[in-house]
Amino acid sequence: MTGYPRTPKTVSGGIVLVDPDSSAVRRVVVLQYNPDTLNRTLQVQGAGPDSGDRLDVLRLKGAPVETIKVEAEIDAAEQLEQPERHPRTVELGLLPVLAALEACVYPSSGTVQANEQLAILGTLEIVPAEAPLALFVWGTQRVLPVRITELTVTEEAFDPMLNPIRAKVSLGLRVLATNDVPRGHRAAALFMAYHQKKERLAAQTSGQLSNLGLGRLP
- For the chain, the three-class secondary structure string (H helix, E strand, C coil) is CCCCCCCCCCCCCEEEEECCCCCCEEEEEECCCCCCCCEEEEECCECCCCCCCHHHCCCECCCCEEEEEEEEEEECHHHHCCCCCCHHHHHHCCHHHHHHHHHHHCCCHHHHHHHHHHHHCCCCCCCCCCCCEEEEECCCCCEEEEEEEEEEEEEEEECCCCCEEEEEEEEEEEECCHHHCCCCCHHHHHHHHHHHHHHHHHCCCCCCHHHHCCCCCC
Residue 53 is assigned to a structural domain of this protein:
no
Residue 4 lies in a domain: no
What confidence tier does 114 reach under pLDDT thresholds 50, 70, 90? confident
Does any domain span residue 194? yes
What is the average per-residue pLDDT within 125-135? 81
Does 34 score more than 70 pLDDT?
yes
Count how many domains the chain has.
1
The whole-number average pLDDT for the span 91-98 is 95
In terms of residue numbers, what domain contains 24? 14-35+65-105+132-202
In a domain, residue 178? The reply is yes
Residue 141 domain flag: yes
4 pLDDT higher than 60: no
50 domain-assigned? no
Tell me what the mean pLDDT of segment 110-121 comes to: 83
Per the domain annotation, does 149 fall within a domain? yes
Q: Does residue 213 lie in a domain region?
A: no
pLDDT (tens digit per residue) in 51-73: 556 777 788 888 999 999 999 99
